[in-house]
Amino acid sequence: MELNVVVREYRPQDLEPVLGLVQELEAEMAEKFEAKIKSGVEDYQTRYLNPGNKYKTWVALIENRVVGYLMGYPSLGTPEIDNMYDILPLAAGQLPPEFYMQITFVSKSYRKKGISTRLHERVIAYAKEKGFKEIYACIAKWNDPELRVIRSLKFQSKDLGYRYRLSLKL
């Protein structure tokens, strides 16, 4: 049976479900790496999901339940430089040529159902609509599920040592 997945832009009423997914992600990472993870829930509330900032988030819903999200933003070239700015230091209406996909997460019980692929396809369509020249992600080498999704969408890979930069020219 094929799932009816709806992918749309984040709305304020999605805050609590997205924060629940952030907590699920943090618990998984803590277990996977046997480490204490500093919670990013507050950053999501005050920074990433703040409508005045550069960040864009899409959610995947099944039966009106948020089961995954993908967050990204217009990029100035590298995530390290991008992290310095929550609001792009550009003239109004001006966009840089690249869009960076920062994080994707799908709740464990909904994985391997094409949801991550659907999120990525929607973000690629958005980047094309807005006139970005390239969309990219930097993904840790241990993150095989995300690497498989990105590569299936024809992104080109560049080895950066402990991670890959995967790019798609639009």
Question: Whole-angstrom Cα distance, residue 125 to residue 97?
Answer: 15
For residues 111 and 21, what is the distance between their CA atoms, to the nearest angstrom? Answer: 13
Band the pLDDT of 90: cuts 50, 70, 90. confident
Give the Cα separation of 101 and 126 in Å (integer).
Answer: 12
Query: What are the residue ranges spanned by the domains of the chain?
Result: 5-169
pLDDT of amino acid 89:
81
pLDDT beyond 80 at 2:
no
Instruction: From residue 74, give the alpha-carbon distance in Å to each of 9, 117, 164.
Output: 15, 20, 19
* Tokens of residue 145, six digits: 């599920």
**Which CATH number applies to 5-169?**
3.40.630.30
Task: Tell me if residue 68 falls in helix, strand or coil.
Answer: strand
Site of tokens 């899409």 = 58
pLDDT at 83 over 90: no
pLDDT at 58: 98
Angstrom distance (rounded) from CA 77 to CA 99: 9
Look at residue 98 in the predicted model and tell me its pLDDT: 95
Percent of the chain with pLDDT over 70: 99
User: What does the pLDDT look like over 64-80, one tens digit per residue?
Assistant: 999 999 999 999 877 78
User: Using CA atoms, how far apart are residues 69 and 72, in angstroms rounded to an integer?
Assistant: 10
Q: What token pair was written down for 67?
A: 């089961």
Q: In whole angstroms, what is the distance from residue 43 CA to residue 142 CA?
A: 25
d(CA 71, CA 123): 9
pLDDT at site 47: 92
Tell me: the pLDDT tens digits for 101-133? Answer: 999 999 999 999 999 999 999 999 999 999 999
